[in-house]
A and B are shown apart, each in its own frame.
Chain A
Amino acid sequence: MEKGTSLWNDAWRRLSHNLPAIISLFVLIFILLLCFIGPLLPFVQSPSAIDLANSTAGPSTAHWFGTDPLGRDLFSRVLYGGRVSLSVGLVATAVAVCIGVIYGAIAGYAGGKLDDFLMRFVDILFALPFLVLVILFSLVVDRPASEFTEWFIRKSGWARDSVAPITTLIPLFIAIGAIGWLTIARIVRAQVMAVKNQEFVEAAVSLGLSRSRILFRHILPNVIGPIIIYTTLAVPGIMLLESVLSFLGLGVKPPGSSWGILIKEGADRMETSWLLLFFPSLFFASTLFALNFLGDGLRDALDPKSAKD
């Protein structure tokens, strides 16, 4: 029997012909592996081992990227910082996408007055100064988050070093996620409205399925394409936001590190050693570059109509 090509097969075929997108995909996988698995390898040094005799050294076989002013190994600092930056980017985007998809789907499916009200609310939030609110919000949830950290350490008995780097980021996740869901809500609403009058939805209605089952089992799977595209394009924006907040001293705080913090430290000492700025910036920019190209490629692959050529 001949096999039909599914949407996903089709999309993958188109994506695999898009050279920049495929290169981006490999670059991303490489960076992800490097940052999350790399630090487990035996030859990667501790990112916090201070060696003042060997400060601001150039690259060598012992320190691949050289050392920072405190003699810490820059290579491992870039890897550990990448863990933080990538986690913030991925988790905050996940929070934003979850809120946005549910909100947009309900607005689009309900229609009428409820839709009007929900979308007017989004319009209003959209006009608010985003960065300003993220800053205020992250200050508000700062203390509850550190209390949570203490509570979690007491309850679980895990080492502080393995808990604190993650739990202290919770304000960032919430702050960025809580305000980043607006665009995705608009996109999902428009998509749901386009799909909800099609025959397969009518069929589901006539089968007597419940409204929530129709929305989440029948309509949402059909609008997954735009959601994936937007998610890919949202991660770089959110990573940039994290770096800006860390740069201003409001995001990740030392001794924790992220690419944003490393870049700031590098920029401060650019005149003595430009490598301190170069390596973190290289990783940061490559990740964002790859995500953007992959997002553009996915848009062309999943949504051929909008492909501009």
Chain B
Amino acid sequence: MIRLILSRLGQGIITLFVLVTLTFFLVRAMPGSPYTDEKKIPEHTLKRMKAYTGLDQPVPVQYARYLKNVILHQDLGDLIRRDGVKVSEIIGESFPVSLGLGVLSIGIALIIGIPAGVIAAVRKNTALDFSCLAAAMLGICLPSFVIGPLLAVTAGLGLKSLNVAGWSSPSDWILPAITLGLINAAYLARLARGGMLDVLSQDYIRTARAKGASPSRIVIRHALRGGLIPAVAFIGPAFAGMISGSFVIETIFQIPGMGQHFVNAATDREFFLIQGLVLFYGFLIVGANLLADLVQIALNPRLRSA
């Protein structure tokens, strides 16, 4: 088990390395530069500015310097277009917002998705099952930028206390979190249903039934633990995806999270901010995957010997 964790950890480090390298060269292959602006910058000023950020060096030198700064000094660099602002400051400001949104929405996804999937599996091929499945399919098929505005109009205008845009008071968090939560609830419900159906047809469930355990006890005590494994496996990546992938939600509800910064940095060619944000995303994803692996091992004793 320790070997498994170590090998996952090693793989995570390689993943981050590949990610940093890939981003570094993709960013430099983009047309345009961070210095293209409406007004023309004088030649010598431009030269000084480039020397200051190190962008006048050959690309391999830049790459080596960037790796050195990140690994040895944990320094992600400065913003190019805004003087004296560090990439880490931007991440420090926006990450708590994205994290809050992510935690809240994953909570909503769990509360709605898991029970819906379990009930659908237990009441297989009934009207209840079909309506759960259809609702889940709808959540998967409707893009978040449809669900978001729909919720905003139906709830935000009905209940005047909920703000449709902004991020100042706690009530502003509700709509975006529900939007993001509902989409993932749909995936979770499908996974939970599939996993539960697999488990419910196995021999040890028949044994439990034969010895006279009540139906609710069979589901809660015997089936849940195994049946939820696929759903748990999804939570890890989903959590990282929620924090990084909530670009659309952040755009709709005008939330100052990391997603907005990333989209702006990509269009402005803020090289160091793009690299820093991608590395940070990668870090979150690797961490979340590792955590999901550990929870799976805890749930499934058969994995422990591996």
Contact = CB atoms under 8 A, between A and B. Distances in A.
Nearest to B263: A248
B194 interface: yes
B30 A247 contact: no
A248 B14 contact: no
B15 interface: yes
B9 interface: no
Q: Which of A135, A137, A142, A143 has the most CB of B within 10 A?
A: A135
Interface of A is mostly: helix
A277 B286 CA distance: 37
Given A128-B18, A131-B244, A136-B274, A277 B31 contact: no
A244 B141 contact: no
Interface string A124-162: 110111011101110110110000000000000000000
Contacts of A124: 11, 14-15, 18
Interface string B16-48: 001100110011011100000000000000000
B137 interface: yes
A260 B143 contact: yes
A273 to B, nearest CB: 12
Given A281-B142, A289-B137, A308 B197 contact: yes
B146 interface: yes
A236 B187 CA distance: 14
Nearest to B149: A267
B272 interface: no
Given A128-B282, A135-B263, A292-B137, A267 B19 contact: no
Interface stretch (B94-102, B165-173, B245-253): B245-253
Given A124-B15, A140-B26, A135 B266 contact: yes
Nearest to A293: B137
A247 B143 CA distance: 10
Interface string B212-229: 000000000000000000
Contacts of B31: 139-140, 142-143
A243 B141 contact: no
Nearest to B286: A127
B298 to A, nearest CB: 21
A2 to B, nearest CB: 35
A102 B235 CA distance: 30
Given A289-B137, A292-B140, A267 B145 contact: yes
B1 interface: no
Given A129-B244, A281-B142, A271 B153 contact: yes
Contact of A247 (B11, B145, B274): B145
A21 B197 CA distance: 21
A142 B238 CA distance: 29
Interface string B134-159: 00011011111110110001000000
A292 B266 contact: no
B15 to A, nearest CB: 5
Contact of A289 (B19, B141, B262): B141
Contacts of A205: none
B125 interface: yes
Given A135-B266, A293-B137, 13 more contacts: A127-B15, A128-B282, A132-B262, A136-B30, A139-B31, A243-B145, A244-B145, A244-B247, A277-B149, A281-B146, A285-B138, A288-B141, A309-B125
29 contacts: A123-B11, A124-B11, A124-B18, A127-B11, A127-B282, A127-B289, A128-B285, A129-B282, A131-B245, A132-B277, A132-B281, A135-B262, A135-B266, A136-B30, A143-B31, A243-B145, A244-B144, A244-B145, A247-B143, A247-B145, A247-B248, A247-B251, A249-B267, A263-B143, A267-B252, A270-B153, A292-B137, A292-B140, A309-B125
